[in-house]
Amino acid sequence: MKKLILILGLIFLVGCQQTTGLPEQGENQELPDDPQENYQQDAKPEEPEEPQEELDFQAVRPNEAGQVMVLMYHEIGGTESTWRRTTENFRQDLKTLYDKGYRPVNLNDYLAGHIDIPAGTTPFILTFDDGTAGQFRFLEDGDQPTLDPDSAVAIILEMAEKYDDFNPAGTFYIYYPVPFRQQAHIQTKLEMLVEWGFEIGNHTYGHENLRNISPQEVTEALARHVRATQSYLPGYEVNTLALPYGALPEDDSLLTEGTWEDITYKNDAILLVGANPAPSPFSEKFNPLRLPRVRADGTELPRWLEYFENNTQARYISDGNPDKVTVPRHLEENINEKSLGDRAIRTYQPD
C-alpha cells in the first residue's frame, strides 16, 4: 500500500480536476457458532481463551500518561529561519524522531486516544500552518507535473516507504484562496492529502487575525474556510483550528462552533502557536481547546528531544495496545477516567 502511495505521488495524475480559485508568534505560548462434525447436542462449545498479551513492563516501561509533542511547521525549503525549515533539516527531523523512537499519528487519532503504535515508542503529531508551497508542490518542468521530492508531503511519503511503522500522518492548516500556492492543482492536492491519510484543518479563510476583527467577522472567517474546503471535498469534516498568529478573539467561544449563512463549523481542538509539549489525551490536564505546540525549528525541537532523553518518565510511551491504557502505578491518579471510553486501564510497579 505504501509503495502504491509513493508511486501515486511521483507520477502525473491523469484526469485530475482543476479549479481556479509567516505569522508572528502569538501570546498563547505559556500555555456465530462454528459447526463441528461430531457435535453432541448436550455438549457446551468451548469458549476460546483470550490470548495472553506478553509485555515486559520493566523493559518497555509504558507510560500513557506522558506528554506528546505536537510539532508546528510553516515554510519548508529555502534558507533556515525561525519560521522556515530547510528541506535537508526537515528530512533530518523525521529521521531523528524515528531513530529516537517517535512515530507519527494523526491529530484526530490523538484527540480520540486512538494511538496505535508499537510498544515502547512515542507518538508525535505533525502540523503545517499556512499551506505554503514547500509543503506540497508539483514540478512542471516537463510535459506532465510530478510531486516535488523535496516538498514536505513527498518526504513524509518517502519515510513511510522506508519504514513499515512510519505511517503518513499530519494536519495541514491551509487558508484560501490558493492553498499550497498552485491554483491549477488545488483540487488534486486536497484530494490526494485525504487519500493518503493526511488531515486538513481550519486556519481561517484568509489568515485573519482573530483578535483584531469583530465577532461576526470571526464566525465568517471560520465558516468560509469550511465552505471553501467542502467545495473541493464535499462532506469533508474540518474539525480542528490552528490560530493564525496565535491570536484569540475576545469571545473565544466563537472558536468552538458557529454558523454563518448556511455553513456551520465545529472545532474539537484549538491549536496554539507554541511552545511546549501537550498532555496525554488521557491526562487530567488535557484540554484540546488550548492545545500547545512545539515550534519545530533548530532550537526548540532539539531542546525538547534532549529534555525527553533526560526525563523519560515525562514522555508518553506506548504499550502497543490501543485498547488499553498502561501507566506506572504512581501515575494512575493523573488519568481522567472519562477519557478512557471502552479502554481498560492497567498499572504496574516500575523497578
Phi, psi for residue 317 in degrees, rounded to 5:
-125, 120
- Does residue 138 contact residue 185 with C-beta atoms inside 8 Å? yes
Q: Which residues contact 278 (CB under 8 A, 6 or more apart)?
A: 67, 68, 69, 70, 286, 291, 292, 293
Query: For residue 331, is it within any domain?
Result: no
In Å, what is the CA distance from 8 to each residue of 1, 18, 125, 196, 319?
11, 17, 24, 10, 33
**Where residue 29 falls among pLDDT bands split at 50, 70, 90?**
very low
Query: For residue 280, is it within any domain?
Result: yes
Task: Tell me which DSSP letter residue 336 carries.
Answer: -
**β-bridge partners, 104:** 124
Q: What is the pLDDT of residue 144?
A: 85
Residue 23 reports pLDDT greater than 70: no
Q: What is the pLDDT of residue 46?
A: 57
C-alpha 278/C-alpha 283 separation (Å) is: 10
**β-bridge partners, 146:** 139
Query: For residue 28, is it within any domain?
Result: no
pTM of the model: 0.86
Query: For residue 43, is it within any domain?
Result: no
What residue type is 333 in one-letter code?
E
Q: What is the pLDDT of residue 25?
A: 36
Residues 266-294, mean pLDDT to the nearest whole number:
96
**Where residue 338 falls among pLDDT bands split at 50, 70, 90?**
very high
165: CATH:
3.20.20.370
Q: What is the pLDDT of residue 316?
A: 98
Q: Is 42 exposed, middle or buried (0-12, 13-18, 19+ CB in 10 A)?
A: exposed
Residue 272 reports pLDDT greater than 90: yes
Residues 300-304, mean pLDDT to the nearest whole number:
97
Residue with more model confidence, 151 or 20? 151
**Where residue 143 falls among pLDDT bands split at 50, 70, 90?**
confident
Q: What is the pLDDT of residue 52?
A: 56
**1: number of Cβ within 10 Å:** 6
**Where residue 271 falls among pLDDT bands split at 50, 70, 90?**
very high
Residue 19 reports pLDDT greater than 50: no
- Does residue 83 contact residue 273 with C-beta atoms inside 8 Å? no
Residues 264-292, mean pLDDT to the nearest whole number:
96
What's the structural domain count of the chain? 1
**Where residue 48 falls among pLDDT bands split at 50, 70, 90?**
low
Q: What is the pLDDT of residue 21?
A: 36
Q: What is the pLDDT of residue 332?
A: 97
Residue 201 reports pLDDT greater than 80: yes
**Where residue 51 falls among pLDDT bands split at 50, 70, 90?**
low
Q: What is the pLDDT of residue 53?
A: 63
In Å, what is the CA distance from 312 to each residue of 67, 147, 194, 309?
10, 38, 34, 6
Q: What is the pLDDT of residue 311?
A: 97
* Nearest Cα to Cα of residue 111 among 156, 196, 171: 171
Residue with more model confidence, 244 or 8? 244
Query: For residue 2, is it within any domain?
Result: no
Q: Which residues contact 118 (CB under 8 A, 6 or more apart)?
A: 103, 165, 318, 320
**Where residue 142 falls among pLDDT bands split at 50, 70, 90?**
confident
Query: For residue 183, is it within any domain?
Result: yes
* Nearest Cα to Cα of residue 248 among 271, 223, 275, 216: 271
Query: For residue 341, is it within any domain?
Result: no
Mean of pLDDT over the chain: 89
Residues 190-215, mean pLDDT to the nearest whole number:
98
**Where residue 242 falls among pLDDT bands split at 50, 70, 90?**
very high
Residues 9-30, mean pLDDT to the nearest whole number:
40
Residue ranges making up the domain that contains 167: 68-316
Cell of 344: 481498560
Cell of 290: 488550548
Query: For residue 62, is it within any domain?
Result: no
Over residues 94-133, the pLDDT tens digits come to: 999 999 999 999 999 999 999 999 999 999 999 999 999 9
**β-bridge partners, 128:** 73, 172
Whether the upstream peptide bond of residue 275 has omega within 30° of 0, thus cis, is: yes
